Amino acid sequence: MSKILIVDDEVQIRTLLARMMELEGYEVCQAGDCRVALRQLELQTPDVALCDVFLPDGNGVDLVLSIKKAAPNVEVILLTAHGNIPDGVQAIKNGAFDYITKGDDNNKIIPLISRAMEKARMNVRLEKLEKKVGQTYSFESILGESKSLKEAVLLARKVAVTDVPVLLTGETGTGKEVFAQAIHYNSKRAKQNFVAVNCSSFSKELLESEMFGHKAGSFTGALKDKKGLFEEANHGTIFLDEIGEMAFELQAKLLRILETGEYIKIGDTKPTRVNVRIIAATNRNLPEEIAKGRFREDLFYRLGVFQVHLPPLRERTGDIRLLAKAFIRNFSAQLSRAINEITPEFLSTLEQQPWKGNIRELRNVIERSLIVCEGDRLDIADLPLEIQNAHYEQSDDGMPDCFELSAMERRHIARVLEYTKGNKTEAARLLKIGLTTLYRKIEEYKI
């Protein structure tokens, strides 16, 4: 039930207001002065405070500040017998929801409280959402115990509290955007926009328009002014993924933003000024790109003020089990699947893979495995065939098992099934065996 705190030193008015609120279905607590009001605020946790301006031990306008400091989500409506503009202006500046006069505005109180209640509920939802976002993009959410990853996280934590540009390097799929989000949400810009753009996803002309915006009529199809992503990210952070793919001509514009905070939109004559933190990422070797004339050296030094290298998954195999179990938990919830057992063979097979696509590839394999799994037990048979084949091509003693007839038969059946995209009837025809025999061998070899 929504709760209202009524603060007024006149008992009759307080009682009348309390009765009105109770008839509307609200739970009511009362206070006769500022001291008791702050105490009730602590004990009762109301959603809205209805407060007189003139109180025995203080002023309601000043009390608004104390209430908002102690409970930011509480909305305060001030009531006064003698309204004046300066008090009303100051009350709003202090964070009051509204300021109304007693008597003249009695018919406005109930709808006003209803709107204040909705605002208070929205405040609570936003606070929960901010906490959830903060937890999702916290450095604690980056899983791994390897030394190389911990060193990367430590560097990212240190740079997060500053405003300097950051360059994230590493192979595709190592989690560069996750690091960029963690840096943003642990910075002083956390409440502002985080805007991400993949520089390899657009042509030069389209990327320029997307990033910097344009004026109406600046080119065919530009029917109206367009804000660029840098404007959207103003006072926040922009993440430029695959910065090594950016056209050489656009790099000069980016360099100007880094040096002056200004750029000129397509078709404009005056500069646009922004206050944006830039986090860039690349899987390319930028010094090599500079030597080949594809990347500006001056831009590299401005972007690379602080570099964080993310290690590939093959260099942190000890983290694979931890990541796999986390992905299994997440996808089990999303797919409404109950997985009660993960076999040691399933996890050890994951650890044997080179993971050229890194964490992203591992994540996709886990999702696919949960989709094809028919029970509550994840086993090696639920992994993609190419991963199963790679596993069975190694014997227990580390010697190749190519001399074992059963191993050769298993690999051959698996390859035929892969060729037929899982069509067992077609596979049995190509193998020239009965469908029942094929099913028996699939079960025997756990294909």
255-282 pLDDT tens trace:
999 999 999 999 988 999 999 999 999 9
Statement: residue 37 has pLDDT above 70: yes
Q: What pLDDT does 66 receive? A: 92
The 10s digit of each residue's pLDDT in 44-54 is 889 999 998 88
Please tell me the class of the 3-133 domain: alpha beta
Provide CATH 3.40.50.2300 ranges for the chain: 3-133
Q: What is the mean pLDDT of residues 90-108?
A: 79
**291 close to 297: Cβ distance less than 8 angstroms:** no
The first and second tokens of residue 146, run together, are 């390897």
| pLDDT at residue 397 in the model | 45
Query: Residue 141: pLDDT above 90?
Result: no
Q: Tokens standing for 19?
A: 């009765």
Lowest mean pLDDT among 10-14, 151-155, 404-408: 404-408
Instruction: Please report the pLDDT score of residue 331 as a whole number.
Output: 93
Tokens of 396: 């227990």
Alpha-carbon gap, residue 268 to 254, rounded angstroms = 17
- How much is the pLDDT for 396? 46
Q: Can you give the pLDDT at residue 329? A: 93
pLDDT class of 89 with cuts at 50, 70, 90: confident
Which residues sit opposite 6 in a β-bridge?
Answer: 30, 50
Hey, which bits of 74-209 come out as E strands? Answer: 75-80, 98-101, 166-169, 194-198
Q: What single letter denotes the amino acid at residue 79?
A: L
Confidence of residue 142 (pLDDT cuts 50, 70, 90): very high
pTM: 0.68
The predicted structure's pLDDT at residue 395? 44
Residue 269: is it exposed, middle or buried by C-beta count within 10 angstroms (0-12/13-18/19+)?
Answer: exposed
* CATH 3.40.50.300 intervals, the chain: 141-311
Using a CB cutoff of 8 Å and minimum separation of 24, what contacts does 396-401 make?
Answer: none
CATH architecture of the region 141-311: 3-Layer(aba) Sandwich (3.40)
Are 352 and 345 in contact, with CB atoms under 8 Å apart? Answer: no
Query: What pLDDT sits at residue 398?
Result: 46
Torsion angle defined by CA atoms of residues 421, 426, 432 and 434, in that order, rounded to the nearest 10 degrees: 110
Query: What does CATH list as the number for 314-445?
Result: 1.10.8.60
CB-based burial label for 402 (10 Å; 0-12, 13-18, 19+): exposed
Q: What is the mean pLDDT of the chain?
A: 88
